[in-house]
Structure 1
Amino acid sequence: MSETTPRGPRGGGERTGLRFSAWNLLLIVPLLMLVTPWFNKTDPTLLGMPFFYWIQFVWVFVGVVCVAIVFHMTRDEPVTRGADELGVDDLDERDAR
């Protein structure tokens, strides 16, 4: 079998890596909950819970919303760039031995 296109380190003709979308920047927002000195206080309380504890619950919901938005906005983007370069012979399982 002869090959007409050079293949990269992963076997594909084109190097595919991580995709970047501007929507992915929204995933930084939930990481703000890790900066605890910003909200390390007791007042205001909510239903008897100090601020530090109830704001952690709020950040969980903010994180879920951010991930859901990024998922829905980027799910229709193609996974690879360019056409698939595998031929019928490359997909044949009998020749894999």
Structure 2
Amino acid sequence: MRVVIGLCLLAPFAAMLWVGSYAKVDPQFIGIPFFYWYQMLWVLISTALTMVAYKLWQRDQRARRGGAGR
């Protein structure tokens, strides 16, 4: 569970640090160069992944508390 949480939190960093993968103009989206819309897309993806990681963390903490009392 914690590995999945870590991957959810590290994926946006890896995507943004690998600049060579998105340092280009084409393909454009509604006139916006790829460089810009790719980064804005990752803002949304990062939000979703952070939310997933938080929910998984909550579930993991509940499971640990529930198992410790037995």
Verify: 1:24 aligned to 2:6, yes or no. Answer: yes
The aligned counterpart of 1:46 is 29
Instruction: Give runs of ≥4 in structure 1 deviating > 3 Å.
Output: none
* Unmatched segments (≥5 aa) in structure 2: none
Q: Which runs of 5+ in 1 are unaligned?
A: 1-19, 84-97
Aligned residues: 63
Residue 49 of structure 1, CA deviation: 0.6
- 1:56 deviation in Å? 0.6
Opposite residue 12 of structure 2, the aligned amino acid is P
Larger Rg: 1
Percentage of pairs with the same residue: 27
Please, what is the CA RMSD of the aligned residues?
Answer: 2.2
TM-score (norm 1): 0.56
TM-score by length of 2: 0.75
